[in-house]
Chains A and B, each alone.
Chain A
């Protein structure tokens, strides 16, 4: 399976909203509502932020939201904060598992 396509980098100012896209195919993102999103700070393990496309685990801020349209999933972070600066990865499950290449979020 090919990796999901994410932008290499996005940036935003504190308080703004940003959206990270994750494009797959009709065989993975498009077929199942099983996209998850992970936040990874340097030197740390990833952290689950969104699962099953749009659900938030307990303890994750409601500033993080997920959606999907066709073969593209999206992660939106509203009210950007300095601590949101990190790498973000999408993941799709369709029997096998595929990750996106990752997006570096810079908070200006």
Chain B
């Protein structure tokens, strides 16, 4: 069935790095823009980044620009988020989702990233 499965979350110290992955199945991954969206504990949704279907275009929220890098491997049906220089305020559940803002049709279950010393 159609699904997205995130992995790679965990506990990391401030200033550290983490790489999130998102495995897609059940749909033609290479046809879709893909995005990362996060939700801090008890807070609302915050868009992080999106990438075009061919990786030719990326966009980032100001809060992560210069620290996070989105990428994808269409041969592996996978989406990635490289997170560097992590801060306490990056603590959140990170969701991958299909689309780029006009409508996020498919969501993963999320992976928790905790930035703490």
In the complex the two chains form, what is the Cα distance from A89 to B101 in whole Å?
13
Task: Pick from A34, A52, A57, A89: contact of B45, CB below 8 A.
Answer: A89
In the complex the two chains form, what is the Cα distance from A59 to B98 in whole Å?
18
Check A48 against B103 for contact (C-beta < 8 Å): yes
A30 at the interface (CB under 8 A from B): no
Given A46-B107, A47-B107, A48-B105, check contact A102 B100 (CB 8 Å). Answer: no
B104 at the interface (CB under 8 A from A): yes
Check B103 against A52 for contact (C-beta < 8 Å): yes
Report B-chain residues with C-beta under 8 Å of the C-beta of A93. 100-102
Question: Size range of the interface on A?
Answer: 20 to 34
Chain B count of residues within 8 A CB distance of the other chain: 20
In the complex the two chains form, what is the Cα distance from A45 to B102 in whole Å?
18
A64 at the interface (CB under 8 A from B): no
Task: Pick from A3, A52, A100: contact of B102, CB below 8 A.
Answer: A52
Interface of A is mostly: strand
Report B-chain residues with C-beta under 8 Å of the C-beta of A89. 44-45
Check B47 against A99 for contact (C-beta < 8 Å): yes
Check A46 against B59 for contact (C-beta < 8 Å): no
Given A45-B95, A45-B110, check contact A99 B104 (CB 8 Å). Answer: no
Q: Which residue of A lies closest to B62 (CB)?
A: A1
Report A-chain residues with C-beta under 8 Å of the C-beta of B59. 95-96
In the complex the two chains form, what is the Cα distance from A97 to B101 in whole Å?
6
B109 at the interface (CB under 8 A from A): yes
A-B contact list, 23 entries, CB within 8 Å: A36-B102, A36-B103, A36-B104, A38-B45, A45-B95, A45-B107, A45-B108, A46-B104, A47-B107, A48-B103, A48-B105, A51-B102, A51-B103, A57-B103, A87-B44, A89-B45, A91-B45, A92-B101, A96-B61, A98-B47, A99-B37, A99-B45, A100-B44
Question: 5 additional contacts, CB 8 Å, given A36-B102, A48-B105?
Answer: A36-B104, A40-B45, A45-B107, A45-B108, A102-B44
Q: Which 7 A-B pairs have the closest CB atoms?
A: A93-B101, A51-B103, A97-B47, A97-B101, A45-B107, A102-B44, A99-B45
